[in-house]
C-alpha cells in the first residue's frame, strides 16, 4: 500500500515540476510587469509570463496553442509594445508615487485580494468543474491536437472564423487611420508639443 502510494507520487513528480516551473514563471513575470518602473523591463517581464503560460499549455496537451502563444504574443505583440515604447521615448521612469486619487492604491490592493479570494471560493464551491480532474492519454477525438483544433475552428466555429477575418481587416484599417498624419496643418501644430520630449526638430522634412 505504501509502495503503491510512493509509486504514484513518483509518477507525478515530472508533471508537478513542469507545473511549478511554469507557475513560477507566470507569477514572477506578472509581478515584474506591475513592479518595474521602466516600461521596457515590464515588457520583458511579460515575455516571461507568456512563456510560462505556454509551458502550462503544453502540460495540458494544447501544443498548437502553446506554439501560437509564443509566435503571436512573444513574437509579435511584445515586439509591437517594445517598438511603441522606443518610438515614443517613454522608457524613462514613471512617477509611481504620484497619487491623484486619495488612497487609490491601498483600495486597489484590497479590492483585488477580495476579488481573487471570491473567484477561488467560487471555484471550490462549484467543485472546480463538472468533469473529471485527472484525464490521461488522448482527450480529444481521433486526431492530433492541431487537427482537432483545426477541425473545430473550420466546422463548428466557421462563422466566428469568418468574422475574425473582418475584425482583422477593420483593425488594420483603424490602425492606419489612427497612425497617419492628417495633413500638413496638423503636423505643424503638433510639433511644438513634441519639442520638450527631445523629438528631432527636423521632423518636418520626414513628414
The interface with other proteins within residues 102-121 (CB under 8 A) comprises 104-105, 108-109, 111-113, 115-116, 119-120
User: Is 55 an interacting residue with respect to other proteins (CB under 8 A)?
Assistant: no
* 43 and 81 Cβ atoms separated by less than 8 Å: yes
Determine, following the binding rule CB under 8 A, whether residue 190 of this chain makes contact with other proteins.
yes
Using the rule CB under 8 A, which residue among 86, 90, 184, 204 binds other proteins? 90
Least Å from the CB of residue 197 to other proteins: 5
What gap in Å lies between CA 71 and CA 190, rounded to an integer? 36
DSSP structure string for 61-128? T-HHHHHHIIIIIIIIIHHHHHHHHHHHT--SPP-TT--SSTTHHHHHHHHHHHHHHHHHHHHHHTTS
Binding flag, residue 23, other proteins (CB under 8 A) = yes
Residue with cell string 496643418 = 185
Using CB under 8 A as the binding rule, the residues of this chain from 159 to 178 that contact other proteins are 160-161, 164, 167-168, 170-172, 174-175, 178
Q: Under rule CB under 8 A, which residues in 65-84 are in contact with other proteins? A: 65, 68-69, 72-73, 76-77, 80-81, 84
Amino acid at each position: 500500500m505504501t509502495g503503491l502510494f510512493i509509486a504514484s507520487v513518483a509518477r507525478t513528480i515530472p508533471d508537478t515540476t513542469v507545473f511549478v516551473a511554469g507557475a513560477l514563471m507566470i507569477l514572477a513575470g506578472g509581478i515584474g510587469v506591475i513592479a518595474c518602473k521602466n516600461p521596457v523591463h515590464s515588457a520583458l517581464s511579460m515575455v516571461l509570463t507568456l512563456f510560462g503560460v505556454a509551458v502550462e499549455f503544453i502540460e495540458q496537451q494544447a501544443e498548437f496553442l502553446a506554439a501560437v502563444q509564443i509566435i503571436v504574443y512573444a513574437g509579435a505583440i511584445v515586439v509591437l509594445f517594445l517598438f511603441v515604447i522606443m518610438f515614443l521615448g517613454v522608457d524613462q521612469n514613471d512617477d509611481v508615487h504620484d497619487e491623484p486619487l486619495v488612497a487609490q492604491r491601498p483600495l486597489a490592493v484590497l479590492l483585488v485580494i477580495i476579488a481573487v479570494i471570491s473567484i477561488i471560493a467560487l471555484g471550490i464551491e462549484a467543485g472546480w468543474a463538472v468533469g473529471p480532474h485527472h484525464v490521461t492519454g488522448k482527450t480529444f477525438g481521433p486526431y492530433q491536437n492541431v487537427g482537432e483544433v483545426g477541425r473545430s475552428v473550420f466546422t463548428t466555429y466557421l462563422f466566428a472564423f469568418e468574422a475574425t477575418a473582418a475584425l482583422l481587416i477593420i483593425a488594420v484599417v483603424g490602425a492606419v487611420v489612427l497612425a497617419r498624419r492628417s495633413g500638413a496643418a496638423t503636423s505643424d501644430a503638433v510639433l511644438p508639443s513634441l519639442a520638450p520630449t527631445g523629438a528631432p526638430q527636423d521632423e518636418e522634412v520626414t513628414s
